[in-house]
Amino acid sequence: MAYGDRVLQQGVRGDDVAELQLRLAGFRGTLLDGDFGPGTALQVKAFQRDVMRLSQPSGVVDRATFQAIDAFADRFPIDFRQLRCPCGVCDGFGQGRFKGLYMPGGKGLEQFHRYEYPGVHRLILWAARALFAYREDVKFLFSSGYRCAVENERKGRTTTNHHGKAVDIDTVLPPGMGKREDMERCNAIRGLLVEKANAQIGWLARNRKSLEPADIAPTWVHYDVREYEPAYLRDEFFCRDLAGLNRRLPIGV
């Protein structure tokens, strides 16, 4: 069933549910398993309450809710120019190399998987949109997006999170704000993402969005999906432009 072709509510299953779960990844968040259970209902209610401003959210995705999700996407576009790899060698999103190969000593660990995924994971970008909605008082930009193997080698990096699995989000400082205030604001944003998006600080739990701790990322917010299982890191979850991010084609669950 194509996304948007039927009303979605608790108890239904399908690829369209998985697409809904992805689009609402920044509102609590749940597995992209295509099963509309209690967790997905909470996602929908959070969106209806916090974005649609409904006093009595239903948890049912009707026509008005589908339209509101589309309007939400239009209101918070993603600038893919900020996400492109700066290496000057790849096309901005790697060359699709090294699938199944790992950095020395890191076999089987996604943070060391050398595969250059075909874009940035859609879940992270939809979740970023939710952050932008919750903090409209802050001007955000992506300070780092894709970094291919060539760029990693140049900089001597030892992890591959930015092979499409991570973004770094920075804030534009208002006049007079110093580093200490910037650090405090980034800490507040991390706290918001834990509360609203069900993100974790660190990488202990599987299948949850992860944030680098403040001692690693003091003045920016690093957001990644490296702890997701391979089923949720298939190529079709990645995109390299706005059309790909907003596409309605089935994910397949």
DSSP 113-157: B----SSEEHHHHHHHHHHHHHTTTS-EEEEE----HHHHHHHT-
* Domain limit, last residue, from 75, 99, 123: 75
* Residues 167-205 pLDDT 10s: 999 998 888 778 899 999 999 999 999 999 999 999 999
* One domain for residues 169 and 54: no
In a domain, 39, yes or no: yes
* Residues 47-59 pLDDT 10s: 999 999 999 999 9
* One domain for residues 48 and 98: no
Domain range for 55: 15-75
Q: How confident is the model at residue 249 (pLDDT cuts 50, 70, 90)?
A: low
Q: How confident is the model at residue 250 (pLDDT cuts 50, 70, 90)?
A: low
In a domain, 4, yes or no: no
Q: pLDDT at position 252, please?
A: 59
In a domain, 7, yes or no: no
pLDDT of 135 over the 70 cut = yes
CA angle 28, 52, 1 (to 5 degrees): 70
In a domain, 49, yes or no: yes
* One domain for residues 118 and 157: yes
In a domain, 252, yes or no: no
In a domain, 138, yes or no: yes
* One domain for residues 95 and 210: yes
Query: How high is the mean pLDDT of the chain?
Result: 94
What's the domain count of the chain? 2
* One domain for residues 133 and 192: yes
Q: pLDDT at position 251, please?
A: 63
pLDDT of 1 over the 90 cut = no
In a domain, 3, yes or no: no
Who contacts 53 (Cβ-Cβ below 8 Å, separation ≥6)? none
SS3 assignment, position 185: helix
The number of angstroms, rounded, from the C-alpha of 85 to the middle of its chain's C-alpha atoms is 17
* One domain for residues 60 and 120: no
* Residues 16-34 pLDDT 10s: 999 999 999 999 888 899 9
In a domain, 253, yes or no: no
* One domain for residues 64 and 118: no
98 dihedral zone (left: phi>0; alpha: psi -120 to 50; beta)? left
What pTM did the predictor assign? 0.94
